[in-house]
Amino acid sequence: MIQSEPAPAKVNLYLHVTGKRADGYHLLDSLAVFAGIGDTVTVEPAGTLSLTVDGPGAAGLPCDDGNIVLRAARALALAADVRGGAAIRLTKVLPVASGIGGGSTDAAAALRALERLWRVDLPEGRRQALALGLGADLPVCLAGRPARMSGIGEILAPVPPLPPAWLVLANPRVPLSTPAVFKARAGCFSDPAPLETTPRDAAHLAALLAARRNDLTDAAISLVPAVATALDLLAAQPGCLLSRMSGSGATCLGLFSARADAESAAQSLTQAQPAWWIRAAPLLS
């Protein structure tokens, strides 16, 4: 039976760098949410494991073990002692190396789809350990719901209910290496700032987020100045409550209350920057 699973964009509404471990990994405090736009992973029974990639963002993506989706499938098969295979198709919409969890959310979607196809039910601890072994963003993407991320991303905690809101995502189509952004970061570490108040509406959420930030923004701008342009263009759109970079960039987000304002902003930005990847999408609760 064919199984299909959405792989929504993962968006960091704030991201504080709170420290650094002895092994070089940075410690984070972040509010991760998901947007109503993303890739799609489809799986069906097959004798061996294979991956094909299509869609508007497929160019240049590998279909071998260089793709985290196939590595995730192999890891799950090994952990669950699965003898069969699967034909996996990734339909790619999100830009790569863009700070919205594209590879991680794809791998998480593949794991969820394959769990159903293979009727796998790993204990939650083993499931999360498998995800973390593939990447620090995998646990939150596998959970697929708003969460506070801490540690290197593997410690997840629930957050207060979030209000209806819309996002405009803008990426200048310049890939940004996460290690390069962390290497370029300067300054002190930040204190954690978990969201503990339940936002009344999107405007209240924006006000709460304004007291927080993304500590990687300056580093990303030093590598890709178009990040600053994206933030400024988003902030200038009517109805934009907050503009901020997501993750390690280069995707930036604008937060809106109304769908009409978000879609109008996306249209205006596309006219101003036709070469960029720009989409309006609801914030998924």
Active site amino acids? 10, 137
CA distance 208 to 226: 26
Helices (H), ranges, the chain:
68-80, 102-118, 124-134, 138-143, 178-184, 202-210, 217-223, 226-235, 259-272
Q: Strand, coil or helix: what is 133?
A: helix
- List 168's β-bridge partners, or say none: 254, 280
- φ, ψ at 264 (rounded to 5°): -65, -40
Joined together, the tokens standing for residue 219 give: 């580093």
Across 206-216, b (16+ Cβ under 10 Å) vs e yields: bebbeebbbbb
Token code pair at residue 252: 């930036």
Q: Whose structure tokens read 């769908």?
A: 259
What is the spatial distance between Cα 100 and Cα 221, in angstroms, rounded to a whole number? 17
